[in-house]
Amino acid sequence: MSILAGMAEWGDEFTRLRRDFHMHPELAFAENRTSETIARLLQGWGYRVHRGLGGTGVVGSLSQGTGRRSLGIRADFDALPIQEATGASHASRHPGKMHACGHDGHSAILLAAARFLAETRGFDGTINVIFQPAEEIGRGAAAMIDQGLFALFDCDAVFGLHNMPGMKTGVLGFKPGVFWAAIDKIDVRLRGFGGHAALPHLSRDPLVAGAAMVTALQTVISRNVDPLDSAVLTVGAFHSGEAGNVIPDTADLRLNLRSFTPAVRAVLVDRVRAIVSNHARSFGIEAEVTVTPGCPALVNDPDETAFARRTAAEHFGSDGVADLERPMSVSDDFALFLANRPGAYVVLGNGEQSYPLHHPSYDFNDDTILPAASYWVKLAQIYLA
């Protein structure tokens, strides 16, 4: 009997579990209900469970036979501060919180795989299923690693996946080397001198200065980054003032930077600092720049990626795999796992008609749960043969 056939009766059960996670989304480092549900299930299936790693993280460890190899598979489980607009019967019950990135599905997939591995024991070694908090703010992986993840649960390799809207349902995508981008965040506070809108000459307007900065910052990519490299600079928030007849005292900008190499990453930060500082000076205002470094670029180990791809092709056939030629400008702190252990991150098709990630109408495709879980089982069985 195939792995997927052995799971066939679980379809409704794990769809209900995924939708339960979806109805009860929890933000970074506050995933208490989700964490407890995961820990309870793993413990019931016979895993040695470690709670609270990295705050709300959960690791389940299961050993079988005499093999000394160990494998880690990771899923994230935090939600986003988004008001859901799916209209689904399983929509979020918590206003302003939503699983708009599919972490509910990632967790359901790994739980289904964990159950099958526990019930069949078709491996020789140790499987560590890692459920990570706070991926959306880029801090969960670091928290788990800093608190001893790999000291407590040594892994010879680590693997993870992320669903990808726009890809055919269930297809797995692979790319060795640099795959997902590094991310950095920059907050800018501009301090001017407010006043009456009718008397602008008596003020130092931080709003106009900020508007000029937004325009100038668009030149960083086009004029400071090698055209053969890739980078993204987005000003995602600009807040200043409350009334049309008042010049405000302050303005706040929030920036998001994406890059693929350390050199380009440094250029982006340096140029943002310079543009903000010099524009502020030219407008006679003060500027405070706060840089919050995020995770590095996600780099897949070539050998482990080739292994993961071979496993998928063997399991699903050639139509079930896709070779991705280009990196993706999204980011994931699984990059830190791969900076500590060899492994690979793969993408899972969520459907060609799926709403994009982080959209209020996005929903995870439940049809992918058991096939993706069967892939994790197959990968574990081969790796821990």
pLDDT tens string 274-308: 999 999 999 999 999 999 999 999 999 999 999 99
The confidence score (pLDDT) of residue 109 equals 98
99 among annotated binding-site residues: no
- What does the block give as tokens for 276? 């903000």
SS3 34: helix
Average pLDDT over residues 75-94: 98
| Residue 64's pLDDT band (cuts 50, 70, 90) | very high
- What are the distances in angstroms from CA 69 to CA 88, 90, 123, 153? 43, 40, 10, 12
**In this prediction, what percent of the chain has a pLDDT beyond 70?**
100
* Torsion sign across C-alpha atoms 267, 273, 274, 275: positive
Which amino acid would we find at residue 9? E
DSSP 73-126: EEEE---BS-------TT--SSTT-B--SSHHHHHHHHHHHHHHHHHH---SEE
Annotated ligand binding at 101? The verdict is yes
Instruction: State the pLDDT at residue 10.
Output: 97
Compute the average pLDDT of residues 371-384. 98
H helices of the chain, where? 3-7, 11-23, 32-44, 103-120, 140-146, 149-152, 206-217, 219-224, 262-282, 302-316, 334-340, 369-383
How far is residue 384's CA from residue 381's CA, in Å, rounded to a whole number?
Answer: 5
How crowded is residue 222: how many other Cβ atoms within 10 Å of its Cβ?
8
Query: Do 3-180+297-384 and 182-294 fold alike per CATH?
Result: no
How far, in Å, CA of 78 to CA of 55, rounded?
12
Supply the pTM of this predicted model.
Answer: 0.95
pLDDT (tens digit per residue) in 221-270: 999 999 999 999 999 999 999 999 999 999 999 999 999 999 999 999 99
In this prediction, residue 34 carries a pLDDT of 98
From 336, 338, 376, select the one nearest 144 (Cα to Cα). Answer: 336
Q: Determine the average pLDDT of the residues in 41-70.
A: 98
* Coil/strand/helix, residue 308: helix
Domain ranges of the chain: 3-180+297-384, 182-294
pLDDT at site 195: 97
- In this predicted structure, what is the pLDDT of residue 348? 98
CB 112 within 8 A of CB 161: no
Bridge-based pairing of strands 48-53 and 57-64 is antiparallel
Question: What are the pLDDT digits (tens) for 332-363?
Answer: 999 999 999 999 999 999 999 999 999 999 99
Average predicted confidence (pLDDT) for the chain: 98
Residue 90 is assigned to a ligand binding site: no
Give whole-number Cα distances, 353 to 61, 101, 244, 379, in Å: 37, 15, 42, 28
CATH of domain 182-294: 3.30.70.360
Residue 359 is predicted with a pLDDT of 98
Top-tier CATH class for 3-180+297-384: alpha beta
Q: How confident is the model at residue 1 (pLDDT cuts 50, 70, 90)?
A: confident
**Burial of residue 33, with CB atoms counted within 10 A of its CB: 0-12 exposed, 13-18 middle, 19 or more buried:** middle
How many angstroms separate the CA atoms of 32 and 134, rounded? 12
**If residue 188 lies in a helix (H) or strand (E), which one and from where to where?**
strand 182-191
Single-letter code of the amino acid located at 292? T
